[in-house]
């Protein structure tokens, strides 16, 4: 008669998932226990469905290792990977969509930096325009009832007319096309800049290899990033897109929603103007960790 195996000894592929879950069952942190239990269930189910060869498994691990190695002060390949898989957008929508008329959230992206220069309303954030077309942006910020919100901190950042953020481009001055504003008593702020350009996400690392293997283009439509925060309000991280951009319907990181498609309108003097209204919802003020310094 065969003796039963001691508890914890793996008896074939059907037994390992339960044994791993059992091993983690004493995790003191309830949320960590729940997250890891679900991760193991879904990850093991994925492996059973796909049945990777040992060579494919090695290649997958190598890919993840190289994603970490490719991250640094100029880019965050890990954030980029989550963007390209639609995970960043899914997380932001699940955590911020309440269906009460609030402005849609959008992914933070890999190029936000902390400590943007403080600006007065009306200032120009194009510290080196590089021949870009002048743009005026006028915004108002209100609550769910349409009442103006004063004292909202608004961080703005965008790519240059050649499609590069300043930390990617040694020819741009420090904090070019970045600024921090505060809404006035009417909930308004405005600033001057240059019209942003659409651009490809970085393709010189593992994420670029993945896009090429999937026959996907790397382009994002032209947009401006905004992060709005104030005590008593849920921090709003979002983007406003140029709805005339060719990539508006095929954003490589899946960030466009109908409400975030803005109208960049050419004025009679040849300059551009964008008007936009942000609606914030009540909640906690939380500033995310910058993906890059």
Buried b (16+ CB within 10 A) or exposed e, 93-108: eeebeeeeebbbbbbb
Distance of alpha carbon 117 from the chain centroid: 21
Task: Read off the DSSP letter of residue 87.
Answer: H
* Superfamily of domain covering 77-279: Aromatic compound dioxygenase (2.60.130.10)
CA 32/CA 9 separation, integer angstroms: 24
pLDDT of res. 129: 58
CA 264/CA 89 separation, integer angstroms: 23
H or E stretch at 80: helix 77-84
Predicted confidence (pLDDT) per residue in 53-94, tens digit: 999 999 999 999 999 999 887 778 999 999 999 999 999 999
pLDDT of res. 128: 81
DSSP H helices, 86-221, are 87-96, 206-213
pLDDT of res. 178: 96
pLDDT above 50: residue 114: yes
pLDDT of res. 260: 95
Predicted confidence (pLDDT) per residue in 170-201, tens digit: 889 999 999 999 999 999 999 999 999 999 99
Of all residues in the chain, the percent with pLDDT exceeding 90 is 80
pLDDT (mean) for 264-271: 95
Predicted confidence (pLDDT) per residue in 218-245, tens digit: 999 999 999 999 999 999 999 999 999 9
pLDDT above 80: residue 293: no
pLDDT above 60: residue 1: no
pLDDT above 70: residue 153: yes
Predicted confidence (pLDDT) per residue in 12-29, tens digit: 888 999 999 999 999 999
């Amino acid at each position: 008669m065969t003796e039963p195996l001691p508890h914890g000894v793996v008896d074939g592929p059907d037994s390992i998932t339960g044994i791993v879950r059992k091993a983690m069952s004493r995790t003191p942190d309830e949320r960590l226990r729940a997250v890891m239990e679900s991760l193991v269930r879904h990850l093991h189910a994925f492996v059973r469905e796909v049945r990777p060869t040992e060579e494919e498994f090695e290649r997958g691990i190598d890919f993840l290792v190289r994603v970490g190695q490719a991250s640094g002060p100029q880019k965050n390949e890990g954030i980029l990977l989550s963007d390209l898989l639609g995970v960043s957008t899914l997380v932001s929508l699940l955590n911020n969509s309440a269906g009460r008329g609030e402005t849609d959230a959008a992914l933070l992206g890999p190029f936000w930096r902390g400590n943007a220069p403080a600006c007065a309303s009306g200032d120009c954030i194009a510290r080196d325009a590089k021949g870009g077309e002048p743009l005026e942006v006028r915004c108002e910020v209100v609550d769910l009832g349409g009442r103006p919100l004063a004292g909202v901190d608004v961080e703005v950042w965008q790519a240059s007319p050649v499609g590069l953020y300043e930390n990617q481009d040694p020819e741009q001055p420090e904090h070019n096309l970045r600024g921090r504003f505060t809404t006035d008593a009417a909930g308004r702020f405005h600033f001057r800049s240059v019209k942003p350009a659409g651009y490809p996400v970085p393709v010189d690392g593992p994420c670029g290899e993945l896009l090429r293997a999937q026959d996907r283009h790397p382009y994002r439509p032209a947009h401006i990033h905004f992060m709005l925060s104030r005590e008593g309000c849920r921090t709003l991280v979002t983007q406003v897109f140029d709805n005339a951009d060719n990539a508006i319907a095929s954003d490589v990181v899946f960030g466009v929603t109908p409400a975030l498609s803005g109208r960049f309108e050419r004025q009679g003097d040849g300059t551009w103007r964008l008007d936009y209204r942000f609606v914030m919802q009540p909640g906690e003020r939380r500033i995310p960790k910058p993906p890059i310094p």
